[in-house]
Amino acid sequence: MKNSLIFTTAIVLVFGLSHVSVNAGTVTKNGKNNDFEFKAEDIPPTASLVYPGTDGKLVYVADSLGNTIPDFSNAGYKGGGVPIPNVAIKETVWPVPGDNSDNIQSAIDRVSALPLDASGFRGTVLLKMGTYILNKPLTIKASGVVLRGEGMNDIGTILIGKIPTERTRGGLVNISGDSGIKLMEETRQAITDNYVPVGAHSFNVRTASGFKPGDKVLIKRIGNEKWITEIGQDSAAVGRNQWRAFDITYDRIVTAVNGNTVTVDAPIFCAIETRWGGGDITKYTDERIEQVGIENLRGISEYNPTVRTKNYGNMDREGYEAEEYFSDENHYSNFINITNAKNVWVRNMSALHFANSVIMSSAGTKWVTVQDCESWEPVAPRVGGRRFTYQMNGQFCLVQRCFSQKGRHSFVLQGPEASGNVFLDSKAVNPYSTSEPHNRWVNGVLYDNIKAPLTARFWDFIIGWAGANIVFWNCEGDFFIQKPPTAQNYSFGHIGINAVIFNKALQDTSKPNGHIESLDKHVAPRSLYLTQLKERLGEQAVRNVIKKGQTVE
């Protein structure tokens, strides 16, 4: 075979999760014989810090302190790898003339009053296809309730949020528990390790006798004033946004206890260090609602089309005369808000004209999947605090196969409680700013095969260090990545220009660059998240979360 290579185990690694067997001269892929001609340049490179070993398993290379690229596979509904269920219909609603909000809310409330079944569900409220005018927002406040439509297109189920009498930052549809978690303060134990590295699942405590597998715990990483000084956020140069000491918490489940060593189900994403105050672990009781879904709907936020502006109107065409665009923001900010909830899914949704987010998952939420959703033509000024399209501020949220048009920060997170989240196989077109960890030390986030301008950087005096231990994996688009003190940010296999594109005046380019490998050539495996998920739970777990008909890669 012309220009053929000797096929070795290394070829198997190129295909990541595919069924691949190798014979002399022929590659059998997914059960089909194919005569491929490989050249050395056809084989994707591997990263130096995490790569497939000779046995096909990922190898993680630690730095001098023990920090590794974390395992992100716990992101998503039920902790990743679990199929979204099809919950039985208990109420059916048809559209009526005029306001439909009371009609739909009554159906939600009736299903919410039903007993939970063995799987933790009460039932689905089905909204038949048609247009539903809503004068008031809808709220799900009980576990086990699903709100389902009959399509996300213009002949499906369409919810139209009328302009509220007062400006609202709320959502048209809200998943909102009354309360969250409550710490059991008497169980608190100090972590005794001098340094617990990024990626670690285990650590030592003063005494672990009060913990057992299955306990729900909050791990606290303390950040004292010395740490704030170390990362440069106490300087007068940061002005009114000067930082104060703060803690980071990780919502985990104990999986093993051995002596005074506690092991939890998922890693930490920011190192715990005694010099910055150390950390501790505390059990909690959980009062969040769960097993809630919203699916197969279109949401439209009504707005005033006479409100227009040219401010920031040339952001997409620098050097051209500013264009006028719709800028009313006295209407619904978000389509779907998620608060005090876990094990939630949102799928097959389209949204038009919302001022800020299609979905916003607040701090304190956990294990959320958002998939196959679209955002079109948001209406708001192209300025700060608007057009944050998919905003995941909780922990272990998975956003996959989603689309954003004309957003600013399309795939975005805010605050140190936002960690362990994954954006996968998603795209932003015509954006007015970058997708990014946006505010105050977001930590441990994976952007995996994202097509959008990306940043993980220092935002000058306005925001400071926006994110730490952020990973870009096989993404495409212009990007800017910097290394924060006491942490790192990473780019592997990125295709695009490493440069400041948006908000140039706000960037401090004197900060050191983050870790960049294989610029302009993707690395193997294709998806870090799916590979980590396969290794933790098996190939069926991957098949449970990919789209029907999608090749397992």
The single-letter DSSP state of residue 408 is S
Beta-carbon contacts of 289 under 8 Å, excluding residues fewer than 6 positions away, are 140, 141, 142, 143, 175, 176, 177, 340, 341, 342
pLDDT bracket for residue 234 (50, 70, 90)? confident
In a domain, 433, yes or no: yes
Lowest mean pLDDT segment, chosen from 34-43, 495-504, 532-541: 34-43
The DSSP-derived string for 196-259 is E-TT--EEEBS--TT--TT-EEEEEE---HHHHHHTT-SSGGGGGG------EEEEEEEEEEET
- Determine the Cα–Cα distance for residues 460 and 502; give it in Å rounded to an integer: 13
List pLDDT tens digits, range 73-128: 999 999 999 999 999 999 999 999 999 999 999 999 999 999 999 999 999 999 99
Lowest mean pLDDT segment, chosen from 214-223, 236-245, 374-383: 236-245
Residue 514 has pLDDT above 70, yes or no: yes
Beta-carbon contacts of 248 under 8 Å, excluding residues fewer than 6 positions away, are 220, 221, 223, 270, 416, 417, 419, 441, 443
Task: Report percent pLDDT > 90 for the chain.
Answer: 81
Residue 228 has pLDDT above 50, yes or no: yes
Single residue among 472, 502, 518 that ends a domain in this structure: 472
List pLDDT tens digits, range 432-469: 999 999 989 999 999 999 999 999 999 876 788 999 99
In a domain, 367, yes or no: yes
pLDDT bracket for residue 321 (50, 70, 90)? confident
List pLDDT tens digits, range 484-509: 999 999 999 999 998 888 877 777 88
- Determine the Cα–Cα distance for residues 496 and 476; give it in Å rounded to an integer: 6
**What CATH number does residue 253 fall under?**
2.40.30
My answer on whether 247 and 321 are in the same domain is no
At 404 the pLDDT is: 98
Nearest to residue 452, comparing CAs of 508, 517, 407? 407
At 12 the pLDDT is: 39
Single residue among 286, 301, 325 that ends a domain in this structure: 286
Single residue among 252, 286, 320 that ends a domain in this structure: 286
My answer on whether 203 and 318 are in the same domain is no
- Determine the Cα–Cα distance for residues 140 and 121; give it in Å rounded to an integer: 13
Residue 219 has pLDDT above 60, yes or no: yes
Q: What integer best gives the mean pLDDT of the chain?
A: 90
In a domain, 535, yes or no: no
At 5 the pLDDT is: 34
Q: What number is the average pLDDT over the span 40-68?
A: 93
Expressed as residue numbers, the domain containing 219 is: 181-286
Residue 428 has pLDDT above 80, yes or no: yes
At 18 the pLDDT is: 36
List pLDDT tens digits, range 263-273: 999 999 999 99
User: pTM of the entire structure?
Assistant: 0.92
- Asked if residue 277 lies in contact with residue 233, where contact means CB atoms within 8 angstroms, the answer is no
At 48 the pLDDT is: 97
At 314 the pLDDT is: 64
- Determine the Cα–Cα distance for residues 238 and 508; give it in Å rounded to an integer: 12
- Asked if residue 280 lies in contact with residue 190, where contact means CB atoms within 8 angstroms, the answer is yes
pLDDT bracket for residue 14 (50, 70, 90)? very low
Tokens of 163: 């302009």
Provide the number of structural domains found in the chain: 3
My answer on whether 278 and 167 are in the same domain is no
My answer on whether 33 and 103 are in the same domain is no
Lowest mean pLDDT segment, chosen from 7-11, 183-187, 218-222: 7-11
**What CATH number does residue 342 fall under?**
2.160.20.10
My answer on whether 100 and 163 are in the same domain is yes
